[in-house]
Amino acid sequence: MNSTPAVSLAALKTPYYLLDEAAIVANMQIIARLCELSGAKALLALKCFATWGVFDVMEPYLHGTTSSSLNEVRLGYETFGNNSADINNNVNNQDKKETHAYSVAYSADEIDEVLSYADKIIFNSISQLNAFKGQAAAKNIPVGLRLNPKTSNSSFIIADPARPFSRLGEHDKDKIAAVLGDITGVMIHNNCENDSFEAFSASLADIEDRFGDVLAQLEWVSLGGGIHFIAPDYPLEKLADRLKGFSEKYGVQVYLEPGEASIHGAGSLVTTVLDTMHNEKNLAVVDASIEAHMLDLLIYRESAPIASINGEFMAIAPVNKDQVDDAVDNTIIYGRSCLAGDIFGEYALPSNLQVGDKIAFGNAAGYTMVKKNWFNGVNMPAIVIRRLDGSIDIQREFDYQDYKASLS
Ligand SMILES: Cc1ncc(COP(=O)(O)O)c(C=O)c1O
Pocket test for ligand 1, best of 43, 48, 367 (most atoms within 8 A of CB): 48
Ligand 1 center to 225 CA (angstroms): 4
- Relative to the CA of 260, which ligand 1 atom is closest? 9
Residue 187: per-residue pLDDT: 98
Say yes or no: CB of residue 169 within 6 Å of ligand 1: no
Residue nearest to atom 2 of ligand 1 (CA): 224
Q: What is the pLDDT of residue 86?
A: 44
265-405 has which CATH code? 2.40.37.10
The Cα–Cα gap between 342 and 40 comes to 41
| CB neighbour list of residue 390: distance below 8 Å, 6 or more residues apart | none
- In order, the DSSP letters of 203-216 are HHHHHHHHHHHHHT
Ligand 1 near 144 CB (within 6 A): no
4 CB-near residues (< 8 Å, 6+ apart): 392, 393, 394
* Structural fold of domain 23-263: TIM Barrel (3.20.20)
User: If you take atom 13 of ligand 1, which residue's CA is the nearest one?
Assistant: 225
226 CB within 6 A, ligand 1: yes
Q: What does the DSSP 8-state code read for residue 198? A: H
Q: Establish whether residue 261 lines the binding site of ligand 1, counting it when its CB lies within 6 angstroms of any ligand atom.
A: yes
50 Cβ closer than 6 Å to some ligand 1 atom: no
pLDDT digits (tens), the chain, 408 positions: 555 557 889 899 999 999 999 999 999 999 999 999 999 999 999 999 999 999 999 999 999 999 999 999 999 999 998 644 443 444 444 568 999 999 999 999 999 999 999 999 999 999 999 999 999 999 999 999 999 999 999 889 999 999 999 999 999 999 999 999 999 999 999 999 999 999 999 999 999 999 999 999 999 999 999 999 999 999 999 999 999 999 999 999 999 999 999 999 999 999 999 999 999 999 999 999 999 999 999 999 999 999 999 999 999 999 976 666 667 799 999 999 999 999 999 999 999 999 999 999 999 999 999 999 999 999 999 999 999 999 999 999 999 999 999 999
Report CA(11)–ligand 1 centroid distance (Å).
36
Q: Is the CB of 265 under 6 A from ligand 1?
A: no
| Whole-number pLDDT of residue 7 | 83
Q: Whose CA is closest to atom 3 on ligand 1?
A: 224
Give the pLDDT of residue 203.
96
Distance CA 342, CA 334 (A): 6
Residue (of 51, 29, 81) closest to 229 by Cα position? 29
Which of ligand 1's atoms lies nearest the C-alpha of 258? 11
Atom 10 of ligand 1: nearest residue by CA position = 226
What burial letters (b/e) apply to 102-139, b meaning 16+ CB within 10 Å?
A: bbeebeeeebeebbebbbbbbbbbbebbeebbebbeee
Determine the Cα–Cα distance for residues 104 and 381; give it in Å rounded to an integer.
30
CA 71 / ligand 1 centre spacing (Å): 17
**Are the C-beta atoms of 306 and 315 separated by less than 8 Å?**
yes
Atom of ligand 1 nearest to the CA of 146: 1
In 248-370, which ranges are E strands? 253-256, 267-279, 281-286, 306-309, 312-316, 331-334, 343-347, 358-361
Question: Where do the CATH 2.40.37.10 domains begin and end in the chain?
Answer: 265-405
**Cβ of 176 less than 6 Å from ligand 1:** no
| 1, burial (CB in 10 Å: exposed 0-12, middle 13-18, buried 19+) | exposed
Is 64 touching ligand 1 by the criterion CB < 6 Å? no
Angle at 99 between CA 218 and CA 3, to 5 degrees: 155
* Positions of CATH 3.20.20.10 in the chain: 23-263
- The closest alpha carbon to 18, from 393, 384, 404, 390, belongs to 384
Q: Give residue 258 CA to ligand 1 midpoint distance, Å.
A: 7
pLDDT of 259 reads 98
